[in-house]
């Protein structure tokens, strides 16, 4: 059985990738100690049909966001939530469990992927909660109108492990900006592992700053390890286009970055 909190995942230290779930089994998420309500959610892990698109897993970053939602640190009660690049949609599903008025789970407009996400929603949530969740195909950089038709005034965007391919950064930012400009008070809860290096995450955050999406409270941006350690994110990495010193893959896999982004009027870089 899988556990929920990153600190209970020391096996990831030697993992080739911080992705969890074996095809044909269920990934069982349990709310952390200290959550206002205790619950478990069971997500079916599909056959490896879409793993080339990095789908069909539950990533450590998704677990981190789910934990923040389950404990109430991210308050979603009666709010409208959009998850971009959702995969199986664990954070969005937890948002529905925690009282979100409406949740839109989005990923590639790929029928197989969307069917896997839909099945995860149906099996993880009770019939009373399923109606709050909508699965919508969305290719980053294309019109967000189908998302806004379902969720016209988003309060929160969830982004978990969506930035490890640099050639997709601009397209992802286009989608985020389009939603934020529709709902300027909306914020982005962001989590990312370092599978392709800290430099890839830093490059995305640098592009975000340049496009007008700023970090909220830089001091609270933290890296969280699989053993529960925390350290501040080094913002000088995002302010420089120079080389970033990278650790070995095994060490990088232990850490996940977490923070909040929001629309700003002027870019900082």
pLDDT digit string, tens, across residues 24-56: 889 999 999 889 999 999 999 998 776 666 677
Q: For 257, which DSSP code?
A: E
| Cα–Cα distance for residue pair 241/249, rounded to 1 Å | 21
| Residues 93/133, Cβ–Cβ less than 8 Å | yes
- When mean pLDDT is compared over 44-53, 134-143, 243-252, the highest value belongs to 134-143
Q: Which residues contact 151 (CB under 8 A, 6 or more apart)?
A: 80, 81, 82, 102, 103, 104, 134
pLDDT at 6 > cutoff 80:
no
Q: What is the pTM of this model?
A: 0.90
pLDDT of residue 251: 83
Residue 163's pLDDT band, with cuts at 50, 70 and 90, is very high
Q: Is the pLDDT of residue 151 over 80?
A: yes
**Residue 220 in contact with residue 190, Cβ under 8 Å?**
no
Measured CA to CA, the distance from residue 30 to residue 42 in angstroms comes to 9
Q: State how far the Cα of 236 lies from the Cα of 145, in Å rounded to an integer.
A: 36
pLDDT of 249: 80
pLDDT score, position 266: 52
How many beta carbons lie within 10 A of that of residue 176, not counting itself?
25
Q: Kindly indicate the confidence band of residue 17, based on its pLDDT and cuts at 50, 70 and 90.
A: low
What pLDDT does 107 receive?
94
pLDDT tens for each residue of 61-117: 999 999 999 999 999 999 999 999 999 999 999 999 999 999 999 999 989 999 999
Residue 48 burial (CB count, 10 A): 13
pLDDT band at 237 (very low <50, low <70, confident <90, very high): confident
Q: What's the whole-number mean pLDDT along residues 126-141? A: 96
Architecture of domain 6-263: 3-Layer(aba) Sandwich (3.40)
Domain boundaries, the chain: 6-263
Residue 240, classed as helix, strand or coil, is coil
Residues linked to residue 133 through DSSP beta bridges, in sequence order: 103
The pLDDT score that the predictor gives to residue 245 is: 73
């Amino acid at each position: 059985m899988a556990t929920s909190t990153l600190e209970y995942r020391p096996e990831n230290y030697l993992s080739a990738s911080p992705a969890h779930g074996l095809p044909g089994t269920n990934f069982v998420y349990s709310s952390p100690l200290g959550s206002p309500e205790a619950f478990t959610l069971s997500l079916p892990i599909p056959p490896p049909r879409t793993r080339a698109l990095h789908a069909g897993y539950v990533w450590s970053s998704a677990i981190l966001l789910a934990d923040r939602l389950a404990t109430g640190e991210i308050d979603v009660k009666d709010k409208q939530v959009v998850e971009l690049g959702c995969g199986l949609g664990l954070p969005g599903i937890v948002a529905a469990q925690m009282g979100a008025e409406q949740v839109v789970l989005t990923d590639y407009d790929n029928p197989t992927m969307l069917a896997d996400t839909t099945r995860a929603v149906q099996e993880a949530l009770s019939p009373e909660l399923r109606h709050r969740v909508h699965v919508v195909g969305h290719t980053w950089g294309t019109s967000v109108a189908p998302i806004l038709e379902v969720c016209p005034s988003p309060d929160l965007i969830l982004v978990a492990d969506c930035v490890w391919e640099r050639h997709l950064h601009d397209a992802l930012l286009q989608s985020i900006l389009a939603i934020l400009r529709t709902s300027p008070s909306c914020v982005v809860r962001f989590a990312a592992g370092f599978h392709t290096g800290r430099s890839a995450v830093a490059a995305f955050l640098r592009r975000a700053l340049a496009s007008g999406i700023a970090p909220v409270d830089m001091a609270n941006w933290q890296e969280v390890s699989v053993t529960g350690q925390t350290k501040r994110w080094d913002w000088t990495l995002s302010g420089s286009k120079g080389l970033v010193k990278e650790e070995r893959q095994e060490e990088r896999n232990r850490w996940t970055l977490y923070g909040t982004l929001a629309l700003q009027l002027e870019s900082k870089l």
